[in-house]
Structures are given as C-alpha cells and as structure tokens.
Amino acid sequence: MDYTLNCNGQLLDLSEPRVMGILNATPDSFFAASRSQTEAEIAERTQQILQEGATMIDVGACSTRPDSEPVSEQEEMQRLRFALPIIRKQAPDAVVSVDTFRPNVARMVVEEHGVDIINDVGAPVNSKQLSASNQETMFRMVSRLRVPYIYMSRKSTMKEVMLDSAKVVDMLRSMGQKDIILDPGFGFGKTVEQNYRVFGELERMQALHLPVLVGISRKSMIWKLLGCSPAEALNSTTVLNTLALVKGASILRVHDVKEAMECVKITQQLEKVK
C-alpha cells in the first residue's frame, strides 16, 4: 500500500511492509521470552530487534493477555518511564509505539518521551477500572497529540470488523486525526474458529484504504489449534505472517523479527517477479 505515516516529522513509508518488534516491559506477558524488565534486558532486546531488521518497536507495560488483571495506571507509567529512555538511547532512529489503552498514559509517553505511535488494543474485558467512554477519550487524546494511531477491532466477523473500523475512522477523522492504522484484532473477542474466518478474509480490509497491522505472533489461535505451547508456535506464526503479507498487511507485529523479515523479503521478491 502506498501510504506514509508522519512520526514526529519523520515520514515512514509503508509502500513495502514493515516489521514491528515487541518489547514487553512486564513480568506477565503470555510469551515469557518477550518479557524485558531490567535495564540490561531492555537494552539487549532493543538491540536484538534492530539487528534482526525491524525499524519499529512496540513497547507494552500492561499485559492484555486473557484473564489478566491490568496494573494500575501509575504502575504502567512507572514501567514506561523506566523503559523508554533506555530504548531511545539504544535506538534513537527507530519508530517507537506504545501499547496502551489509557489516554493519560498515551499523553505521558508522547509529551515526555516523544513516542511516535499509540497502539490501542482497548481495555481488557475484565477491567473494572475504566468507563464505557474510555475509548472515545482515547480518540480525542490521540487526535490532540497528532500521532499515528492503531485501532484494533474486537469484532468477531470480518463484516463486523469492517463496519466497526469504518465507523471509528469516520469518528477519528471528524476529530482531526490524520494517520490511522487498522488492526483486525486476532486473539481479541474471537474464538479460534472466528480468528481463522477473519484471517481468511483479511484482504477485504484493503477496501478501507488504510494500512493494516497484523499481530498474530505465537497467539492462542495457533497453539490451541495445534495442541502446542506459545514457545513452540514460531513455525506456525511464520506461515500466517507470510499469508498476511500476501493478503495485504502493511505491518507485522512480532516477537520473532528475523523470521518475519524473511517473510517480507520473500513476498516482496514474489511481487517483483510477477
């Protein structure tokens, strides 16, 4: 897709797919190998993401895995205030996004740390801390901050994902939001079968004329289907990442950057020789 994001004045060209490496500054993310808490661990993971070829880093400080209880807003901010300066020191030119569902956290990371993108998966379904208007507050916050925004739909069919995304895009546009990325929300609000049905129709999202992010890395839709563990789901993740690129994904959000970069190189080569 011929699309450019304005990330703090740095233009990010999405005419070729990008890989976004996951860095979890949490003790409880579902994939244990992705957790980085000490200064050394955060620096090492940042360097690994860059060395393996990614130009985007997605930082999470509050787990949204199923059945998790979100930490307080203060704890999430504290983790990010610790992690982000380390990441910026190691990767001053990387595009950094923060995975949060809290408007105040979004404001803090942009205003204090110059974060480039807000990645919003919405509040955990079991969270009792947030009001029903939280997401609209987030819409207004990112529109005011003028940073690219990733919207994830929790709807369970592609038709509903498309309608939901179109409605949200209209709302965001009315608030002045410029750059929007859409995420069909694999692993959120969907059964295993529903995840695969949505994935099977992923190319339909191109009709919305916005970049699509696919975050499918080592998720339960893979290991529940195959009867394995997240640690054993790399090969299957690579298969789905490749298919996602064929179906038009602009960004792959992954734990395993090297393997995702290989997917991008192969699919791009196939495009060149058509």
pLDDT digits (tens, 9 = 90+) for 203-229: 999 999 999 999 999 999 999 999 999
pLDDT 10s digits, 125-145: 555 445 556 788 999 999 999
Which backbone phi and psi does 118 adopt, to 5 degrees?
A: -105, 125
Which backbone phi and psi does 209 adopt, to 5 degrees?
A: 55, 40
Q: Residue 66: its pLDDT value, please? A: 62
Q: At residue 62, does pLDDT exceed 60?
A: yes
Q: Residue 86: its pLDDT value, please? A: 96
Q: Residue 95: its pLDDT value, please? A: 97
Contacts of 17 (CB under 8 A, 6+ apart): 245, 249, 250, 251, 252, 264, 267, 268
Q: Are the beta carbons of 253 and 217 closer than 8 angstroms?
A: yes
CA atoms within 13 A on the CB side of 189: 18
Q: At residue 9, does pLDDT exceed 60?
A: yes
Query: 73-90 and 39-51 helices cross at what angle (nearest 10)?
Result: 50
CA 10 to chain centre: 19
CA atoms within 13 A on the CB side of 167: 10
Cα–Cα distance measured from residue 252 to residue 183, given in angstroms and rounded to the nearest whole number: 10
Q: Which residue has the higher pLDDT, 163 or 129?
A: 163
Cα–Cα distance measured from residue 272 to residue 274, given in angstroms and rounded to the nearest whole number: 6
Percent of the chain exceeding pLDDT 70 equals 91
Q: Residue 243: its pLDDT value, please? A: 98
User: Binning pLDDT at 50, 70 and 90, where does residue 67 land?
Assistant: low
Cα–Cα distance measured from residue 130 to residue 135, given in angstroms and rounded to the nearest whole number: 9
Average pLDDT over residues 161-181: 96
Contacts of 97 (CB under 8 A, 6+ apart): 20, 56, 57, 58, 59, 115, 116, 117, 118, 119, 150
Contacts of 139 (CB under 8 A, 6+ apart): 149, 168, 171, 172, 175, 177
User: Binning pLDDT at 50, 70 and 90, where does residue 2 land?
Assistant: confident
Does the pTM exceed 0.85?
yes
Q: Are the beta carbons of 260 and 268 closer than 8 angstroms?
A: no
> Which amino acid makes up residue 83?
A
